[in-house]
Structure 1
Amino acid sequence: MKNALVLGASGGMGFATVMELIKRGIKVTAFARSNSKLEKLFAAYPEVTIYSGDVFNKRDLEEAVKHKNIIFHAINLPYPEWESKLVPLTENIIRAAKIAKAKLAVVDNIYAYGKSESLVVETQVKQPHTKKGKLRLQAEKCIKNSGVSYVITHFPDFYGPHAENTQLNYTLRSVVQNKRAWFIGNPAIAREHLFTLDGAKALVELSLRDDAYGQNWNIPASHPISGNELITQIRELTEFKKKVSIVTTNLLRFLGIYDRQMREFVEMQYINEQPVILSGEKYTKWIGPLPKTPYKEGLKITIEAYKNQFYSKM
């Protein structure tokens, strides 16, 4: 790989992927809509070319992908836009990859797997039962039928610097600002939260291996952890004393009356009641040990990033 394009570079996994590529000495173009966000994140890195554009504008995408060997797709659309935009977005990226004759490395989630009572392996038949899971599977099939060389990586819910739309970061933002905080889901149930910098390491490692292409890869977190354990660690790191309230499914339904984003969260709450846990056996066997930052260390890094973000505005 000589030159990479990261789509969604201002988001959690996009940012982490850019930073991992920099570490490996790979030239990278960071693509997102907001030029100001890109400048704030990457202006200090001469090895990063900033490109602000609209991924739905074919000309913007074609220009950005010129002379690139690989496209990292880390765009995370807001839930309300999935139905109208997820598949067209995927088709635009496929088209750009074909024009540039570039490979494609995709950041995907666990929704297409649907419910599962055992560790999820890559060979498991995908039977999504939610609207979002079905859309994810449709986008995946578009990629697999495109003729583009691809790596599709399935991750659990993220947390980390700039991962703004994740459940755990939703809690951390309020904690750092010393506001009343909320935790989404049953805090007694253990589920996976993947540190973005670990996810990026695994993603980039796969993208550098020719034999990883044409396959799906599951990248689990270091281990499942309960909300209660996370809240305890967060309090230890921040000395946060205020109450952490629990967002139940019924509360989301109520909030959804007034807020479509909250309404769209409701159908995904099965993950907080019957967690989907990924098996990393395939990655470990083919590639080696998975990156596994301890939760307390990952939380500390994320909290520090929020402190820098908030204090810089004061």
Structure 2
Amino acid sequence: MMHAVTGATGAIGSALVRLLAAEGKEVRALVRDEEKFKRLLPDVSAELVVGDILNAEDVRETVKGVAAVFHCVNFPLIQFQRNLEAAKVLLEAASAEKPHIVFPGNTWVFGRPARTPITPETPFNPPSPIARIKAQVDEMLMGSGLPVTVVHLPDFYGPGVVNPLVQPLFENALAGKNVTFPGPVDVPHEFIYIDDAAGALLAVAGREECFGKRYTVGGVEPITVRRFVELIYQVAGTQGHVRGMPPWLLRLAGLVNAEARAAAGIMHVFAWDTRMDGSAIQQDTGFVPRVGYKEGIRQTADWF
């Protein structure tokens, strides 16, 4: 049975393609750059649709006849509004055949929760324009009347994850340089290894008992950014110091820099306790994250 992945050259999308193929499932991937896909996944056999997530015809071709579609497109922060357009195009394309839509959510939408850990019942309270867009996409999908499941994931790391938050942590620590993080470094947080993140999405796919539900997924255990980076130093055999940047400094930079302004809109997840409870997804699917921080960091360090 065919499964489709949008955003298939991104970190979570490419991990999903790899896991689906490893399980012997047929995969159709929507990509803009065929050569990039082949570089990332040279040993994976997949049907490729070379196109644009904002092009209705390309998306209809992608979702035609599939059992499930993993909607992993994620525009850069300074273009984040386009995620709303992409969701609209996907819903229109999927309206006829109604495949199961699986969407990776995150912790941005919860803002500062009244209590932790965050559960699927925790209300949204997005504190920034970026977080509000993420919440709107989630609510648009869940309110569509189609079979949809949203899986809220912690920040992920691992081979192929090169976002502006995680990549500098590894590059600097592996080189024995000091690490300056654009937010607090001593608040309890969670990271999830990229294959575990993809596994959580795969766990709900095609399960009717998961239709119309939101799930929250925690990491293997809480950790601070400081301790996470210290583990990178430890694995690499290097030394350095970790320091956090006060939130006001990033907001100040945002007055003159659009990327810094957009980044400031997601850093609240490091200022507040946003740990999540994964008991609901474990109960419904059996999923639990399995890759510990030391092992995940070791594999990521090898990739870098």
Assess same fold via TM > 0.5: yes
> Corresponding residue for 1:5?
4
Q: Who is 1:128 aligned against?
A: 126
SS in 2 for 1:51: strand
Per-residue CA distance 1:180-237 (angstroms, 9 max, x = gap): 5433322222201111111111210111322111111111111110122112210111
Q: 1:54 to 1:262 in 2, by over 3 A?
A: same
Is 1:115 the equivalent of 2:112?
yes
Say if 2:107 and 2:269, in contact at 8 Å, map to a contact too: no
Partner of 1:311: none
Task: State whether structure 2 residue 281 is matched by structure 1 residue 301.
Answer: no
Unaligned runs of 5+ in 1: 307-314
1:184–1:240: structure 2 CA closer, same or farther, 3 Å change rule?
farther
- CA RMSD across the alignment: 2.0
Which residue does 1:227 correspond to in 2? Answer: 225
CA positional deviation for 1:243: 4.6
- CA offset digits 1:46-86 (Å, max 9, x no partner): 3x223332111112212222232211011121111123x12
**Aligned counterpart for 2:168 among listed residues 146, 167, 170:** 170
Stretch moving more, 166-175 or 265-274:
166-175
Give the secondary-structure state (helix, strand or coil) at the position aligned to 2:265.
helix
Mind listing any 5+ residue stretches in structure 2 that lack a counterpart? none
Contact 1:168 1:183 in 2 (8 A): no
Residues 147-170 of structure 1, C-alpha deviation per residue, up to 9 Å, x if partnerless? 211111111211122222252233
The equivalent of 2:140 in structure 1 is: 142
What is the match of residue 309 of structure 1?
Answer: none
Contact 2:68 2:206 in 1 (8 A): no
State the match for 1:185 in structure 2: 183
Whether the aligned pair in 2 keeps the contact of 1:160 and 1:169 (CA below 8 Å) is no
Deviation at 1:176, TM superposition (A): 4.2
Partner residue of 1:310? none
Counterpart CA distance in 2 for 1:177 and 1:63 is 45
Q: Is the 8 A contact 2:177 2:239 kept in 1?
A: no
User: How much does 1:100 deviate?
Assistant: 4.0
Quote how far apart the aligned CAs of 1:17 are: 1.0
- The worse-fitting range, judged by mean Cα deviation, of 212-221 and 32-41 is 32-41
| Counterparts of 2:203 and 2:110, CA distance in 1 | 24
Identity of aligned residues (%): 23
Match for residue 281 of structure 2 among 280, 283, 290: 283
Q: Alignment length, in residue pairs?
A: 303
| Counterpart amino acid of residue 161 in structure 2 | A
Q: Secondary structure of the residue that 1:29 maps to in structure 2?
A: strand
Question: Where in structure 2 are the equivalents of 1:185-224 lying within 5 Å?
Answer: 185-224=183-222
Per the TM alignment, residue 178 of structure 1 is displaced from its structure 2 partner at its CA by 5.8
Q: Which residue number in structure 2 is paired with residue 272 of structure 1?
A: 270
Contact kept in structure 2, 1:10 and 1:162, CA below 8 Å: no
How big is the shift at 1:5?
Answer: 1.0
1:312 aligns with none
Letter in 2 for 1:136: K
SS in 2 for 1:112: helix
1:11-50, aligned counterparts within 5 Å?
11-46=10-45, 48-50=46-48
Q: 8 Å contact 2:118–2:274 — kept in the other structure?
A: yes
2:192–2:289 Cα contact (<8 Å) kept: no
Higher helix share: 1
Q: Aligned letter for 1:95?
A: E
2:85 counterpart residue number: 88
Are the equivalent residues in 1 in contact too, given 2:108–2:268 (CA < 8 A)?
Answer: no
Task: Output one character per residue of 1:112-138: Cα deviation in whole Å (capped at 9) or x when no partner.
Answer: 222113211111222222222222222
Distance of aligned partners of 1:33 and 1:181 in 2 relative to their CA distance in 1, 3 Å threshold: farther
